[in-house]
Structure 1
Amino acid sequence: MSQTITVIRGDGIGPEIMDATLHVLDAMDLGLSYEDADAGLAALEKHGELLPAATLDSIRRNKVALKSPLTTPVGEGFSSINVALRRHFDLYANVRPARSYPNTLARFPGDVDVITVRENTEGAYIGEGQAITEDGETATLVQKVTRRGSDRIVRYAFELARSTGRKKVTVVHKANILKTTSGLFLKVAREVAAQYPDIECNEMIVDNCCMQLVMRPEQFDIIVTTNLFGDIISDLCAGLIGGLGLIPGANIGHEVAIFEAVHGTAPDIAGQGKANPGALLLGAAQMLDHIGKPDQAERLRKAIVATLEAKDSLTPDLGGSGSTMDYTRAIASRL
């Protein structure tokens, strides 16, 4: 049965890495079809708005989207197009896996295999209550954490552990200081964890978690935490494996899911054929898991690993001299 995916090509290097990703997916002969939709600068130029209603309609209709990086211009009405998408579709779970890959430029020699599950709709990023006094001396921001939001993100992390065979969930918080917001998150997390006796659970204060990730990342399996902490921790994990070029992201809601490369648009190399499509390809693998094709997702991941092992046509960020499409064709040849 054919599955239609909403495709957002994005800005900067976005169209290049999307073309590469679709080339590989087509080589896998998965019966996928694509519906193009615009967002970001491309949408602003064509439609006069950053996030057209037609794009939202396409995502709502297809329920699955694959998205390249987007640019949000300063002063155009959105603090972030990505945040706007998450709010519109209530994409409450942000899932970012980080694992060690062969022949990368990672400085950390250890074996990293960590999934960060980040609450995507609450906390410091809701943007409510932002104000600055007339004299410019004091700024304020409201943080909001709810029982519902905490329950569903922690439950998602434990269900992910069960479905993927992972054994441990680490709840990261700052309840020793943020006794209301982080305190509620931790309380709810403990209640949820008690319902999953088959999954080991431990708790860690966020600053200690960051230190432990750098010292002994092998102790972590799945990390679940609130919005701001999850943003920071997932980038720290990316640094352990060599950068954002191999970090995908899934934004999951009850009805809709959007899969992406989490890095930026890299306008300095746009159009030069240097961009690494690895993060978006790995996002496509997450998408295949989501739509019920886990065997094909693993097939794709293995082809990426085999190409890295062979050092075949790697892009400059991976230490090679290959172009975006050279690297893409090398991956496709190993499917």
Structure 2
Amino acid sequence: MKHVITLIPGDGIGPEITEAARRVLDASGVEIEWEVVEAGEAVIKEYGTPLPEPVLDSIRKNKVALKGPLTTPVGTGFRSVNVALRKALDLYANVRPAKTLPGVNSRYDNIDLIVVRENTEDLYAGVEHMVGEDAAESIKIITRRASERIVRFAFELAKNQNRRKVTAVHKANILKLSDGLFLECARKVAQEYPEIEFEDRIVDNMCMQLVQKPELYDVLVMPNLYGDILSDLCAGLVGGLGVAPGANIGDEAAVFEPVHGSAPKYAGQNKVNPLAIILSGVMMLEHLGEFEAAARVRQAVNEVLEEKKFVTYDLGGSAGTSEMADAIIRKMQ
């Protein structure tokens, strides 16, 4: 079966790492037709926006996209291009796995966590204003609909991946109405999945727990702000943002992307680690039902990491972006 997939190269290092991922995914045996569309700083002059409508139209049509990192330009109306993309397509679930990789230095072994972050509201709704000249107010929005939807997504993910537990993360001891509503919704949805263990943790305690005993946790679900923070913490448990894949998933579309930024100072140097976007591509293959191909790419990645002969500088090697991709491709042949 052929898949038509939107490809957004992105800014900075984006074009280099997306090309590396594209070649690896093409070598996986899956037939992919890439529809390349441009977004970010390079298109502002032509379209007057870093997120032109043809990009959104392409994703709506194809349902699936692989995206390089985008830079939010200073001095525009966009708080974040990524946030605007997620809102426009109602990509309400941000999914960030954190899994130990062979040959990648970390303080921990056998980490296997998934952070499920609500993607559309909370403080990231951006409802804020000045109160006089000396105070600023931001409004935290938590709704029953979005809370139930994200918690149900987390339980369905746990069920489909045969995972044992879902932990809801909150600050309901202090934010009794907003986080209290999220926790109430989580407890209600959990009753629909009696086969999966459910618990909740206060967010500050959760940070300590993840540092002390991450092996106790499995799938974590939380509102937007806590998800942004804890997903980076979890990435730190397995080697950092350079090995952290991600996905933004809605009912009608899904966009897969690395967690890290566009790193413009490294653009064009064939230097950066392409692993985060390659692993995001693996998540994309699984989303498409191409599980054998996904396993093939993952195995090839693990073999290259174990050998350490063709890895980038941050992983202890001297290979370039394209050379690391070449090594992964050779492992699949």
TM-score range, shorter chain: over 0.9
Deviation per CA, 1:15-52: give whole Å up to 9, x if none: 00011001111112311100011111122244332111
Q: In terms of mean alpha carbon deviation, does 303-312 or 86-95 score higher?
A: 303-312
User: C-alpha displacement at 1:188, in angstroms?
Assistant: 0.6
Q: Match of 2:262, as an amino acid?
A: T
1:18 aligns with 2:8: no
2:71 corresponds to which residue?
A: 71
How many Å separate the matches in 1 of 2:177 and 2:108?
A: 39
2:130 corresponds to which residue?
A: 132
Deviation per CA, 1:177-220: give whole Å up to 9, x if none: 00011000000100110110100111100000000101111111
1:258 aligns with 2:272: no
User: C-alpha displacement at 1:249, in angstroms?
Assistant: 0.8
Deviation per CA, 1:142-164: give whole Å up to 9, x if none: 11111110111000000000100
Spell out the pairing of 1:276-295 with structure 2 (5 A cutoff): 276-295=273-292
2:8 corresponds to which residue?
A: 8
How many Å separate the matches in 2 of 1:65 and 1:191?
A: 33
Structure 1: runs of 5+ lacking an equivalent = none
Q: Match of 2:282, as an amino acid?
A: A
How many Å separate the matches in 2 of 1:104 and 1:267?
A: 24
1:111 aligns with 2:110: yes
2:305 corresponds to which residue?
A: 308
SS in 2 for 1:333: helix
Q: In terms of mean alpha carbon deviation, does 152-161 or 303-312 score higher?
A: 303-312
User: C-alpha displacement at 1:102, in angstroms?
Assistant: 1.7
How many Å separate the matches in 2 of 1:180 and 1:38?
A: 42
User: C-alpha displacement at 1:77, in angstroms?
Assistant: 1.1
2:294 corresponds to which residue?
A: 297
Provide the alpha-carbon RMSD of the alignment. Answer: 1.0
Spell out the pairing of 1:67-216 with structure 2 (5 A cutoff): 67-106=67-106, 108-128=107-127, 130-135=128-133, 137-216=134-213
SS in 2 for 1:334: helix
* 1:9–1:38 contact (8 Å) kept in structure 2: yes
Taking structure 1 as the reference length, what is the TM-score of the superposition? 0.97
Aligned pair count reads: 332
Structure 2: runs of 5+ lacking an equivalent = none
How many Å separate the matches in 1 of 2:94 and 2:49?
A: 25
Taking structure 2 as the reference length, what is the TM-score of the superposition? 0.98
Deviation per CA, 1:114-147: give whole Å up to 9, x if none: 000000001110011x111342x11101111111
How many Å separate the matches in 2 of 1:161 and 1:98?
A: 15
1:222 aligns with 2:197: no
* 1:105–1:319 contact (8 Å) kept in structure 2: no
* 1:94–1:251 contact (8 Å) kept in structure 2: yes
Identity of aligned residues (%): 54
1:237 corresponds to which residue?
A: 234
How many Å separate the matches in 2 of 1:94 and 1:243?
A: 18
How many Å separate the matches in 2 of 1:182 and 1:312?
A: 48
* 2:8–2:39 contact (8 Å) kept in structure 1: yes
SS in 2 for 1:55: helix
Q: Match of 2:48, as an amino acid?
A: G
Q: Match of 1:114, as an amino acid?
A: L
* 1:312–1:327 contact (8 Å) kept in structure 2: no
User: C-alpha displacement at 1:109, in angstroms?
Assistant: 2.8
Q: List structure 1 runs of 4+ shifted beyond 2 angstroms.
A: 45-49
